[in-house]
């Protein structure tokens, strides 16, 4: 299942609105906009791949978690099961990179000072990279606050810095700058979603060999890498592109071949209403230390549904399964008095999770509903959480994560 972004770049409109009649500039803008369209298409493809891979990993992780829970540590296969769990978790990091590129990974916005993140990165790099590379920071003291996911922004900047370190091969200068800037609508043609006004600009420069012109337009594509085989996944800059776009920002590369590379990131200042990350489960549902009650598990993936039922039963629940939202709503309408918790996937045939959520809430507004999905629209999740869902858990997850996300005693038994 592939989901495209709601907004599309209208190159004809943007070019026709340009006041500058310079033909060369118009051709350059058209080329950049075509590249933006290609990146959007790649994002849709990457997101679909991540959704399918997440379902596979979630099924494997659920089965392995169930085995690990019941297997004694001295069992001859205990180490093998641990290896499966670790491999699934590594795989989930790759899918998160794809989801970030596709802008389908949930973001927890908060007020952020970019200078603080830069200082953290400088501290880490100073302790870990070659002494032959010097790090300079040029930070504007009165830098505007931005609203961003601090973990994702940290990952974006760290990925770019590490790429720069690799490019310089243990000798050179890494320069990180921050400054306040103002961008007009005309300057935001590469991202029409970005609002004109105050921005925070973060620039990361290196003195490495630079990137050849013919490769510069490919650096943000997933799985593209100039590193030797086995030395990189090619997802770091793709993830950075998706993350910055999701923050209504702009990321671009300025590379002078043989004289270094600069990555420029521009994020709107105070573009969003500040919000704290939603808790995984509201405290009022944590009623005791024991799991109990009946769960309605709604998911269209057979293997995931079967394996999840198994681990939920090990946690102490009775489990009823449905394969789509319509089936769940019909069952819930007659049996809601015996159902204590609902675990609801978001992307399903016949009736998706969002529609099913509101139907279930219409039948019984008190039932706790936990959203469990690996491929989601941020606005859908925020909407569902604000309308009473007890939390969100991203696929794939292991037994411990699921246990932590669920209420500890059924509501109907309280």
Residue 259 lies in a domain: yes
Q: What angle do CA 44, 48, 49 make, to 5 degrees?
A: 115
Contacts of 329 (CB under 8 A, 6+ apart): 351, 356, 359, 360, 363
Residue 276 lies in a domain: no
Residue 322: phi and psi, rounded to 5, are -135, 155
Residues 239, 301: one domain? Answer: no
Predicted pLDDT at 6: 41
CB 55 within 8 A of CB 304: yes
- CATH number where 232 lies: 3.30.565.10
Residues 93, 116: one domain? Answer: no
Q: CB-based burial of residue 128 (10 Å sphere; 0-12 exposed, 13-18 middle, 19+ buried)?
A: exposed
How far is residue 163's CA from residue 360's CA, in Å, rounded to a whole number?
Answer: 48
The last residue of one of the domains, among 58, 73, 101, is 101
The total domain count for the chain is 3
Residues 262, 389: one domain? Answer: no
CB 370 within 8 A of CB 406: yes
Residues 382, 401: one domain? Answer: yes
How far is residue 92's CA from residue 393's CA, in Å, rounded to a whole number?
Answer: 13
Residue 157 lies in a domain: yes
Residue 2 lies in a domain: no
Residues 88, 115: one domain? Answer: no
Residue 198 lies in a domain: yes
Smallest Cα–Cα separation from 218: which of 238, 233, 203? 238
Contacts of 412 (CB under 8 A, 6+ apart): 293, 337, 338, 340
Residue 400 lies in a domain: yes
User: Going residue by residue through the chain (414 aa), what tens digit of pLDDT does each one get?
Assistant: 333 344 444 545 544 555 545 666 566 556 556 655 655 665 556 556 666 777 778 778 877 887 887 788 889 888 898 888 888 877 776 666 555 555 555 556 778 899 999 998 898 898 888 889 999 999 999 999 998 888 788 888 988 998 899 889 889 999 999 999 998 887 776 666 778 899 999 999 999 988 877 787 777 776 666 555 545 555 678 778 888 888 889 998 887 766 789 999 999 997 443 333 333 333 323 323 456 789 999 999 888 888 888 888 888 899 999 999 999 999 999 999 999 999 999 888 999 999 999 999 999 999 999 998 765 555 567 778 888 899 888 777 777 778 888 876 544 544
Residues 257, 322: one domain? Answer: no
The last residue of one of the domains, among 236, 268, 300, is 268
How far is residue 45's CA from residue 142's CA, in Å, rounded to a whole number?
Answer: 41
CB 36 within 8 A of CB 244: no
Full-model pTM: 0.49
What is the three-state SS of the chain? CCCCCCCCCCHHHHHHCCCCCCHHHHHHHHHHHHHHHHHHHHHHHHHHHHHHHHHHHHHHHHHHHHHHHHCCCCCCCHHHHHHHHHHHHHHHHHHHHHHHHCCCCCCCCEEECHHHHHHHHHHHHHHHCCCCEEEEEEECCCCCCEEECHHHHHHHHHHHHHHHHHHHCCCEEEEEEEEEEEECHHHHCCCCCCCCEEEEEEEEEECCCCCCHHHHCCCCCCCCCCCCCCCCCCCHHHHHHHHHHHCCCEEEEEECCCCCEEEEEEEEECCCCCCCCCCCCCHHHCCCCCCCCEEEEECCCHHHHHHHHHHHHHHCCEEEEECCHHHHHHHHHHHHHHCCEEEECCCCCCCCHHHHHHHHHHHCCCCCEEEEECCCCHHHHHHHHHCCCCEEEECCCCHHHHHHHCCCCCHHHC
Residues 58, 204: one domain? Answer: no
Residue 277 lies in a domain: no
Residues 136, 257: one domain? Answer: yes
CB 85 within 8 A of CB 68: yes
Predicted pLDDT at 263: 93
- CATH number where 333 lies: 3.40.50.2300
What is the three-state SS of 253-288? EEECCCCCEEEEEEEEECCCCCCCCCCCCCHHHCCC
Residues 24, 172: one domain? Answer: no
CB 405 within 8 A of CB 343: no
How far is residue 34's CA from residue 290's CA, in Å, rounded to a whole number?
Answer: 56
The last residue of one of the domains, among 245, 268, 291, is 268
Residues 43, 25: one domain? Answer: yes
Residues 261, 138: one domain? Answer: yes
Residue 5 lies in a domain: no
Domain range spanning residue 71? 11-101
Predicted pLDDT at 42: 57
Residues 345, 377: one domain? Answer: yes
């Amino acid at each position: 299942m592939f989901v495209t972004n709601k907004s599309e770049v209208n190159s004809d409109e943007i070019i026709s609105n340009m006041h500058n009649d310079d033909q060369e500039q118009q051709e350059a803008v058209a080329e950049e906009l075509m590249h933006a369209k290609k990146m959007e298409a790649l994002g849709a493809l990457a997101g679909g791949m991540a959704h399918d891979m997440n379902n596979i990993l979630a099924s494997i992780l659920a089965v392995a978690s169930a085995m690990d829970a019941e297997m004694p540590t001295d069992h001859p296969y205990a180490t093998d099961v641990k290896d499966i769990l670790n491999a699934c978790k590594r795989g989930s990091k790759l899918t998160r990179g794809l989801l970030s590129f596709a802008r389908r990974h949930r973001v927890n916005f908060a007020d952020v000072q970019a200078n603080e993140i830069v200082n953290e990165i400088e501290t880490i790099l100073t302790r870990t990279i070659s002494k032959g590379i010097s790090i300079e920071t040029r930070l504007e003291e009165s830098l505007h606050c931005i609203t961003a996911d601090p973990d994702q922004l940290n990952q974006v900047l760290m990925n770019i810095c590490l790429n720069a370190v690799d490019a310089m091969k243990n000798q050179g200068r890494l320069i990180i700058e921050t400054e306040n800037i103002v961008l007009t609508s005309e300057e935001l043609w590469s991202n029409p979603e970005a609002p004109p006004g105050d921005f925070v600009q973060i620039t990361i420069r290196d003195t490495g060999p630079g990137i050849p012109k013919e490769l510069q337009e490919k650096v943000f594509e997933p799985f593209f890498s100039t590193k030797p085989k086995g030395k990189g996944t090619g997802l770091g800059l793709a993830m950075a592109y998706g993350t910055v776009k999701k923050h209504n920002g702009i990321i671009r590369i300025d590379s002078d071949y043989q004289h270094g590379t600069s990555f420029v990131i521009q994020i709107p200042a105070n573009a969003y209403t500040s919000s704290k990350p939603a808790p995984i489960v509201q405290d009022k549902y944590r009623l005791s230390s024991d799991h109990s009650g009946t769960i309605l598990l709604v998911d269209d993936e057979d293997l995931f549904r079967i394996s999840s039922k198994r681990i939920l039963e090990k946690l102490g629940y009775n489990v009823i399964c449905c394969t789509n939202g319509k089936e769940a709503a019909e069952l819930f309408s007659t049996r809601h008095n015996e159902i204590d918790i609902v675990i609801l996937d978001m992307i399903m045939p016949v009736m998706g999770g969002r529609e099913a959520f509101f139907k279930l809430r219409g039948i019984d507004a008190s039932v706790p509903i936990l959203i469990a999905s690996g491929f989601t629209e941020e606005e859908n999740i925020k909407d569902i959480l604000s309308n009473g869902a007890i939390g969100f858990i991203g696929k794939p997850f292991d037994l411990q994560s699921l246990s932590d996300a669920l209420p500890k005693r059924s509501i109907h038994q309280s």
